[in-house]
Structure formats: structure tokens, C-alpha cells
Chains A and B, each alone.
Chain A
Amino acid sequence: MAERSQSLSAQLDTNLSELQTWFGDTHDLAVRPVRLGEASQQRAAVAYLFGTVDQTALAEQVLEPLARAGQFSAVPDGGPIPNMAVIREQVLSAGISQSVTEWSELSREMPGGAAALFVDGLAEALLIYLRVELFRSIAEPPTSPVVRGSREGLIESLDANLAMVRRRIRSPKLHTAMITIGDLTRTKVAVLHIRGIADPAIVAEVMARLRRIRIEGVLESGYLEEFIQDQSFTLFPTIRNTERVDVVTGSLMEGRVAIITDGTPFALIVPISFNGLLQVSEDYNQHFPLATFVRWVRYLATTLALTLTGLYVAIVSFNQEILPFGLALRLAASRLGLPLPTIVEALALEGAFEILREAGLRMPRAIGQAISIVGVLVLGEAAVRAGIVDPIMIIVVGAGALSSFAIPDYALVSAFRVTRLGIIILSGTFGLFGLMWGVLFVVTHLLSLKSFGLAYLSPMAPFRPEPLLRDAWSRALWSSNLWRPGFARKRRRQPEKNLPGVGRPDPEGGNRR
């Protein structure tokens, strides 16, 4: 490759040929020569990459004003243009523009949707941002639907995402820091927090960890997640990802930091706790007793997802004495004549379920239905008929799988799926003793995890009764849910306890509303 100069030249022709060199004679580089004013002899050119620049806006906001440049008093008719600032401030009607003198910067900005204006005689170029917004419409996030709550999900466009968050928190305290990551992709990453609520130390730590990232390309926030999480070798997510705008805004209001990456609808949220992953934005939308009940259903499902199959294996192949008499006979009768050891049966069914799940996920939607029919009918029914699988085992594995889908966070579901296999193996080897061993191992591991300094199992360990009671074991009334989590800088949410509904009867008689 030819030696490339770093700074722009004052010669238009030199600049244009240099531009071709920088972009390697690419096909989609468009160069349009213009005259500044009808009578002007001043040569200029606008260069852009096809498809990245809005053509209408370019014509209306750049080309047309440039053609009429002679009408502006600041531009001497026919005379040379003194500097770019004159054009930027007085001629163009485009919103954002920036003057650059370095080729490297120019070449980085143009693919993002900037047109470059070169003027003969000026050793600088004006970057005019006329980006074509290529994004899908805002839709309900498919990974986390709710019955009651906002149907807006984040999309792939960072600007649109930021706008959605801004619209929900209309406060100057919402702070956005932008950082570019990826030597090749130059992906824009926004770090959001609310000043005065989030702990500045956590924000600084997030920024520091993001700045440390050295990677060629960032296509999704998962790339960043692996770089910035506290503990790399763990199945459990220590950073929450979400597609939901209300989760992002809610987390910001709790004093957390959100990281939104351009090109993906999945925002990252730190710091988080295990308990937070079992909560859903809808919990806060519906009435608190229902939300509390649903939370306990979720806790039960989480326990079952982790232990149910293991428990069955342990009981059936080791600890039969804990079964009630009738159940023991029923189970034994249904397992009579089965050729495989229980643990093999359990692992085979779990394996079949995993394959089914993966197949259902990757198949084109239209075939998905067929997959579930084949999976359920052919595999399940035939295996029972053929006498190699216990029907109760199918119930147990099915119930365990069902329970795992009641866990709202997909990353956590995946973690539990893998952990469950380990627990099945331990249960099939050591019985209930092994099961306890496995559960203790998981709990110990969870205890060792931290998310940006926050203990993963908080507020259970370290034990904080108030938040545990109000936002984990129950979902307190908003009017009495006065405190943010412990890591927030400003702990208090509302100024004082304000009871909902009708006020106290006043002395005049009758109720105040």
C-alpha cells in the first residue's frame, strides 16, 4: 500500500486522491464536485459512502446551500473561502458538523454516516453528519414479554435507545458517557447513570473496566460482558442483560449503571444480585400481594429447576425409605422391569430435552411446531411404550424443565440447566447426600461471586433484613418502599412515608381525598 499522509492537504485534488487511497478504491465511495456559489470559481467536493448518508438531507442541507453560497455576505463572491467555520456557521443548514484535519479521524467518521466537504485551498475537511437511521421499529421484546407493563423494547440503534431512556427519565441528572470500543468496529457504547443516586465509585469502575478492553470488534454486549465481569469462570451471570426499557430505567433509579451498546438491543446492568435476576419489572406494576405471591412461585420454581430431577434420582436409587408407603409401591410398580439405572435414564432424558430445546430454538419458526410434536409424542410416548423409560421420570424431567422456564432471566436459566446436570450425577452417585453436596457447592459458589463489588447473594448474605423483607421476600407497597438498595449513594427514594388511598377522616366529618 502506498505511503499515506496523515494530515489533509490544501489541494483539493490531492485530498480526493488521498481519500481514494484511504478507502482503497472502494465502490461505494461517492465524490460529488460542487461550486461554492453560482459565480464562484472556488472548487469543492462532497464525499460520502453510499447508503450511509441520507440523500435528501444531503441535497437540502448541504448541496443546495453550497450552491447558493454566493448570497451569503460572509462569502466573498468569487473570492476564496477563508475557513471552514464560515461555511459551517453561515452556509450549511445541517445540524451537526465537525471540522477535521487528520485523515485517520475522517476515515473513522465517514462510515458512521458523515459526508466530508473538501474545499480547495483549505487543509481541513468538514464532516457533516447526515446518518441514515437504519433500524427496525420499536417492538415488544420477544425475550421478556409482560402482561402489564411497557411494550417498548430496546432496538439496535443506540440513539433510539438513549432517546427512549431519556423520555422516561426527564431529568438533567441522567448522565450519559460515550466510549468507543473495538479497533475495527469502533462500536459506540453509552454508559448511563443518574448523578446523585448512583455511587460515583461504581460508575468510575465501569468506565475504567470498559476502557481497559482491547478487542478488534464488538458485535454484541456479550463481548463486553465477558471483559468486565468480576469472575470469568462461572456459569452464573454477574451482569444482567435486558431488552426492556423499563428495566433499564428502573435499574438506573435504583442506583445502578446501564451500559448500552450500539448494534444490539441488549443493555447491560451492573451491579446486580442473584435475587434481582429473579425479579421482573412487572412485579412493580401489579398489586403488591400478587407480586409477592408470584415471587414465591418463582423461588419455588428455581429450587425445583435445580433439584427436582436430582431429588427423584436420589430417592429412587438410594433413599427409598423417605417415600410414603403408597407412593413407594406406585413408583416401584411403574419402574418394574426397566433395564436402565435411574441415573442413566435421567441423564438420557435431560439430554433429549436439551437437544429438543436447542433444535426448537434454532429451527425456522415454521418447523418449530413439528419439532415439539416429534419431541413430545415420538420420544416421550414411544420411550414409555417401549419400556425403557419410566413415565414418572418423564413427569419429573418435564416439571423440572418447566420450572426452569419460570426463571425470568435467560442467562440464569442456562446456568441452572448446566448445574442441574451436575446435581443429577451427584445424586445418582451418592443419593441425597450427594444432592446436598451439590446444592451446598452451588450455594458456596454463589456466595463467592461479586458483581462490581456487590455480594451476589445480597441481601441474604450479607444479611440485610430491611431490603430482604421489602424487596425480596415480598414486594412492599410503593408508599412504604422507601429505600434503595445498599450500594446506591442516595438511599432514600421518597421523602416520607405516605400512605395510599383515602386519608384519615377529618374532624369536619367525611373523608378527605
Chain B
Amino acid sequence: MRRWVAVSLMLSLLLTGCWSRKELQELNFVTAIGLDWNEETEQIDLTIQIVRLLFVPRPGEKTGGTPEERPYHFLHASGRTTAEALNRAQQSQSRRLYFSHLQVVVFGKEMAEHGVSDPMNLFWRHTEVRPYIDVAVARGRARELLAGQSPQGDVTGRWIVELLEQARAHGYTRSVPMLEAMYAMTEPGLAPYMPVLHLTSTGSPDPATAADIPTQEAVGVAVFDRDRMVGFLKPEESRGAILARGRSRTLVLTVAAGKDDGELTSFAVREVRPEIKVGPPSASGLPSVTLRIAARGELLQRQRIPEPIPPEDVPRIEKAIAAQLKQQVMSAVTTTKKLKSDVIGFAEALRQQNPALWHRVMHKWDDRYPDLPVKVEVNVTLRRTGILR
């Protein structure tokens, strides 16, 4: 008898209804958030991209090209904090804003310069937001950047993530998860950086308005001092910095490696192994640092000479490529020294190889970094010269 009473009491729990039930179709999927700093109102202008479920294409169906049929739309709201702005955005929504599928947070240039830590704080604490979402900086305003369209008309939040992932193939930038950016902002010696997005013309004008539909492009790196952006690296510098961090997978370099300038050679780097050697400290208190990069790859294209490469030419090509890589890395070092931001990560090497010294310079590393003597050595191995048929 007591058993039945216990069972029926337990069953009565089920009668309370569906606790915290939220139906999938009744959620407002937030896929991208853009943050802009409004200098006049001193508030955050928020751009929220929301999926319009009705226009999510089925496999094989075409997506809408006109704004009325796109699978997403935007909400705009302002507030002193991100949370306040989000709450205002919710006022115009009958469905709950849902952040578990948030893909990317884009900071406008002003916002990044004003400081990203405060507005990002919300995403850091929010239970629904994943720590691995992408963060990026827009060259202009985030609002305009997000308004750009992908050529396929996909939900741009997701499309930007895929765009950043593909940076592996060209090396001009890389995708940085929020977790990594936040960590770099709080840990001494780590220099935060984010990929840069900007709008570019697709060259295909909208038939209705005859205006060019811009699309997003990911090139370059924004460098931060703690949570404030201090500058952009140029594409070649960004590539050098990312290469030096060993974060590139494949990238294509084109050098003039022949006897005359027109003889261009394109080389695909397939494998990069950077290594930082910290030498003994000099009189200035800082050690001299050697950045050794071993790159292996294959020849993709060689102009003008449609014949197999003689083996004696290989070292010359390797040297030319190494020289260009070295030049890219050196320019990255020079610029980051200027920006006082150790993006390449010499501090990490120092911490690992000379902890005692690191503890002495740790707290004023950003000021000491420009004085760090850096030597770059690049060694390139050409593994394949391609098949000539």
C-alpha cells in the first residue's frame, strides 16, 4: 500500500506540466550579433540577426534573393550594456531570443577601439552562449557588415563562421574562438587578436535596385592591447604573424625566383613548424630571441618554363620562398612591436624557457616587447615539384 502511495506521489510530479519546456519552433534563433559603439549616445548599438524559419530552404529549394524572402532578418536595439540592449530587442519579439546557436559576434571598429571586454562580458556569462563561437572585428560598422549577403543567400552568421574556417586555406587571417580571445585578454603575456571582416563587392548588382550587393571577406588581423583594439595588421603582416604562430595549414606564396623578374613561382606551404629559441639575457635584461620556421610544401606553378625543374634550381627556389616568408614574418614583428602587442607569442616561449626572467618582465611585457631583439630564420623544403604531363 505504501508502495502505491509512493508511486502515485511520484507520478503526480508529472502532472505539474512540462517544466521549462520551450518548443524548438517557438525559439528565435540568434545567429550573429553585431556590436557598435555609439559615440554620441555613449551606448551600444546592437544588431541581432534572427533566423526566419519560414524561409529556411529545404534541400534542393532555392533561397530567397529579395530581402522579403531571405532566411534571416535583423533587430536593432541600443543600451548601456549588451544585456540592456538585448532586453529591448526582445520587446518587439513574440518569441524568446535563443542564443545556443549563436555563431559569431562581430565588433564594429569603434566598439573594438572602445574596448570589447565589457560588451563581451554578457556572452561570457550567458548560459546559452557557447564559449567556442567566433569573434571578429569589422573594418567599419558591424551593422553594415552583417547586412552584407552571402552569394548563396545563407544565414550570414553561419556563413561568416565558414568563411573564417576557410582562412586556413589562405592564411591571411584565422578564426579565433571567444574563449581564446577572452583568455588572451586576461592572461599577462598573451596578446589578443581577432580576424578582420570587411565588405567587398561581388560585382553582381541587385536587379531590382541596380545597387551592388556586397559580401563579407575575411582578411587581416586586428591587434588588441588588453581589450582595446590598437590597430590592424596588413594582410601580408597578418599572414606572417599567423604563420609564425604555426596556425597556418596551407597558404600559397608567389615569388620571383628566376633569373628575370617575370619568372614567377607559386609555392604551396603544406606544413609549418615554428620554433622560438630564447637565448641568454643580454645587458638590457632581455634575451635575444630566434624564431626558426621550418616550412615544407610543394611547387604549384612556375611561369614561362614549361619543363621539369632541374634539381640544381630547387635550392634557389627554396631560398627565394624563404626570403619572402622571412620578410612577411619580419614585417609582422616590426608592426606588432610598433603596436606593443606580442601577437606572435614570444612571451609564451620566454615563460616556458626562462620562467625566472619571465616573472621579472611579465607585468611590463607590453612595454618591453618592442625592445626584444628578434632574429628570424626560415628554412623551406620543396617536397614536390608537381607532375608534368
Contact = CB atoms under 8 A, between A and B. Distances in A.
Interface string B51-75: 1011010100000000000010000
Contacts of B16: 429
Contacts of A425: 14
Given A330-B56, A336-B53, A320 B103 contact: no
Contacts of B27: 320, 332
A246 B230 CA distance: 80
Interface of B, helix, strand, loop or mixed by DSSP? loop
Nearest to A318: B21
A336 B25 contact: yes
B101 interface: yes
Nearest to A337: B25
Contact of B24 (A317, A325, A431): A317
A423 interface: no
A508 interface: no
Given A320-B98, A321-B101, A329-B155, A341 B53 contact: no
Contacts of A335: 23-25
Nearest to A324: B101
Contacts of B232: none
Interface string A318-360: 1011010110111111011110011100000000000000000
B21 A328 contact: no
A400 interface: no
A467 interface: no
Q: Sort chain A's interface into a size bin.
A: 20 to 34
Chain A interface mostly helix, strand, loop or mixed?
Answer: helix
B22 interface: yes
B29 A329 contact: yes
Contacts of B54: 333, 336
B101 A328 contact: yes
B263 interface: no
Contacts of B71: 329
Contacts of B158: 325-326
A261 B88 CA distance: 75
A331 B16 CA distance: 27
Interface in B152-177: 155, 158
Contacts of A53: none
Nearest to A319: B100
Interface in B1-36: 13-14, 16-25, 27, 29, 31
Interface in B137-159: 155, 158
Contact of A320 (B13, B19, B20, B100): B100
A331 B24 contact: yes
B18 A332 contact: no
Interface string A65-94: 000000000000000000000000000000
10 tightest A-B contacts by CB?
A: A321-B100, A335-B25, A333-B56, A336-B53, A316-B24, A333-B53, A332-B24, A336-B25, A317-B21, A329-B56
Interface of B: 13-14, 16-25, 27, 29, 31, 51, 53-54, 56, 58, 71, 98, 100-101, 103, 128, 130, 155, 158
11 contacts: A318-B22, A325-B101, A325-B158, A329-B53, A332-B25, A332-B27, A332-B29, A333-B53, A333-B58, A341-B21, A429-B13
Given A329-B51, A338-B25, A426-B14, 13 more contacts: A317-B18, A317-B21, A317-B22, A329-B101, A333-B53, A333-B56, A335-B24, A335-B25, A336-B54, A429-B14, A429-B16, A429-B17, A429-B19
